[in-house]
Amino acid sequence: MEETGLSIRVVRLLGVYSIPTPARLISYPEGLTHSIDIVLEGLPLDGVLTHSEESEAVGFFEPTALPDALHPATREVLDDVARGVSGHVD
């Protein structure tokens, strides 16, 4: 609910993406850090979809109508989901 305004029920683990590829390395003024993405499939239970301080906008998209400006790490996860990959761990 914190970032989307929705309460969900977790359905399953889709993957853990942890290899420090360039897409998962983030540069801050204090130095370089490495992100680890834990990806879950969730079922919305209640709430109203809304953006937070951490996002400019939120929305639901058909797989064939995703925004062009996706982060490369996000694109990797969504490509795996489209291929039916689940339980991915690296």
Question: According to the model, what pLDDT value does residue 69 have?
Answer: 87
pLDDT tens, N- to C-terminus, the chain (90 residues) = 678 899 999 999 999 999 988 989 999 999 999 999 999 999 999 999 998 888 888 888 998 899 888 889 989 999 999 999 888 888
Question: According to the model, what pLDDT value does residue 13 have?
Answer: 93
Question: According to the model, what pLDDT value does residue 3 have?
Answer: 82
With the CA atoms of 9, 63, 59 and 71 taken in that order, what torsion angle do they form, in degrees rounded to the nearest 10?
A: 100
The pTM assigned to this predicted structure is 0.78
Alpha helices per DSSP H over 4-46 = none
